[in-house]
């Protein structure tokens, strides 16, 4: 297999990290990868809040019930005032999802672990991120990515499911047929 496919299959959600700090140079590379993502009408509505301060990370960790111990976090945010065109404003969630996936893949390629945790459209999560990171009301934190050196190892995998693939046209199946196919 080629390097890109190996990287894609190796990308896994890592939730436990070592105490080793992530160098700023690596975080900058992750942000460069994020901003290399495709964007509708090249609007690039993204902004990023990078967190390495231990006190702020502890506050974010507490808000996530202590489930993540990354040594860095990146909030991927949409500022629609930056988007420009109506197309870019309409498709900001896709733009930010592409930027987020680029961060996750780049982290894997750099030997880091990462996990994508939700923000928008969960307004309770949005408000928590806005409060802790002092994000203004006109900026939408779509997600928070925890980053660090992995303290757990997961094997590469694909989750390919042929029953979810339709060639040429969508083929309707009944729920009974779907259940039989999955059995």
Whether 181 has a pLDDT exceeding 60, the answer reads no
164 inside domain: no
79 inside domain: yes
What is the rounded CA–CA span in Å between residue 101 and residue 112? 14
Tens-digit pLDDT profile for residues 72-116: 999 999 999 998 888 888 999 999 999 999 999 999 999 999 999
Range of the domain at 100: 3-154
- Dihedral sign for Cα atoms in the order 47, 53, 55, 61: positive
Q: Give the mean pLDDT of 49-58.
A: 98
Helix (H) or strand (E) run with residue 97 in it: helix 92-109
Q: What is the mean pLDDT of the chain?
A: 91
Return the structure tokens found at 7.
Answer: 């990287």
* Residue 175: predicted pLDDT: 60
Tens-digit pLDDT profile for residues 58-84: 999 999 888 899 999 999 999 999 988
* Residue 64: predicted pLDDT: 87
Check which CATH number belongs to the domain holding 143 and give it. 3.40.109.10
* Residue 178: predicted pLDDT: 57
Phi, psi of 174 (to 5 degrees): -75, 160
Query: Bridge partners of 51?
Result: 73
Tens-digit pLDDT profile for residues 140-174: 999 999 999 999 888 888 998 989 999 988 988 76
28 inside domain: yes
170 inside domain: no
128 inside domain: yes
Whole-prediction pTM value?
A: 0.89
Q: Give the mean pLDDT of 128-134.
A: 97
* Closest C-alpha among 134, 103, 128, 95 to residue 29: 103
* Residue 83: predicted pLDDT: 86
Question: What's the pLDDT band for 2 if we cut at 50, 70, 90?
Answer: confident
Count each helix (H run) and each strand (E run) in the chain, helices first: 8, 4
92 inside domain: yes
Question: What's the pLDDT band for 50 if we cut at 50, 70, 90?
Answer: very high
Tens-digit pLDDT profile for residues 164-173: 999 988 988 7
181 inside domain: no
72 inside domain: yes
When divided into structural domains, the chain yields a total of 1
SS3 47: strand
- Dihedral sign for Cα atoms in the order 141, 16, 30, 157: negative
């Amino acid at each position: 297999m080629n390097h890109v496919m190996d990287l894609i299959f190796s990308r896994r959600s890592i939730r436990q990290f070592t105490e080793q700090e992530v160098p700023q140079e690596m975080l900058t590379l992750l942000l460069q990868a994020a901003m290399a993502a495709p964007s509708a009408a090249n609007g690039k509505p993204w902004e990023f809040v990078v967190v390495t301060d231990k006190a702020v990370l502890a506050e974010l960790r507490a808000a996530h019930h202590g489930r993540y111990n990354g040594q860095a976090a990146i909030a991927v945010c949409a500022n629609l005032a930056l988007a420009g065109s109506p197309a870019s404003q309409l498709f900001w969630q896709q733009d930010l999802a592409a930027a987020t996936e680029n961060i996750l893949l780049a982290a894997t390629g750099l030997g880091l672990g990462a996990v994508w945790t939700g923000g928008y459209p969960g307004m309770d999560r949005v408000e928590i991120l806005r409060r802790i990171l002092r994000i203004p009301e006109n900026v939408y934190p779509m997600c928070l990515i925890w980053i660090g050196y992995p303290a757990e190892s997961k094997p590469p995998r694909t989750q390919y499911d042929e029953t979810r693939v339709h060639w040429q046209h969508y083929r309707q199946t009944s729920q009974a047929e779907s259940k039989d196919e999955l059995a």
